[in-house]
Structure 1
């Protein structure tokens, strides 16, 4: 059996896992408790694939966020890992001038408004697109 040449995203995901703190995974790869965690992970892998940052830069960004959280009293039980991941994504996007902190804040507020306006069990729509 030949190896699929389109395995680049999977290789990038494995590299991301190796370069950062361990995340929950099973035999098939990363597992996520909530859809937003998978989206944050996929966004990070995609931004790296597009050359927005290197894995060492990403690992440093995530490590800094986790270290800061621990210094501020986070007991590091694993339940806040994806919150730290999201903060690191937001910071590296702002640091690399991919999007401003203000633009990220505005988008987060738009998502919050869309979520609040969406009936339970329905897809959240932002600007007419499913979120």
Structure 2
């Protein structure tokens, strides 16, 4: 997030608003999602809102990463095929 901000991809106000909105999605009285999950979702939504990627592309990348991680022996580097 900081690297993307430092690169000028969004303002700190954009980040704070997006993260705040995401944190507010927990329903009152319901178990809260871990902070990291909110942070990651907010970051993904902000990148998509800025037109830097799409949520669909991020989903495909997540699926590819999961598949590569499961196929990689423990202790070996995980690589994604293009």
Shorter-chain TM range is: 0.7 to 0.9
Gaps in structure 2 of 5+ consecutive residues: none
Match of 1:118 in 2: 72
- Quote how far apart the aligned CAs of 1:71 are: 4.4
More strand by share: 1
Alpha-carbon RMSD: 1.9
Secondary structure (helix, strand or coil) at the match of 1:69 reads: coil
* TM-score, L = length of structure 2: 0.86
Name which one, 1 or 2, has greater alpha-carbon Rg.
Answer: 1
Work out the number of aligned pairs and report it: 82
Highest relative contact order (Cα 8 Å, sep 6+), 1 or 2? 2
- Quote how far apart the aligned CAs of 1:123 are: 2.1
- Quote how far apart the aligned CAs of 1:91 are: 0.5
User: Which structure 1 residue ranges, 4+ long, deviate > 3 Å from structure 2?
Assistant: none
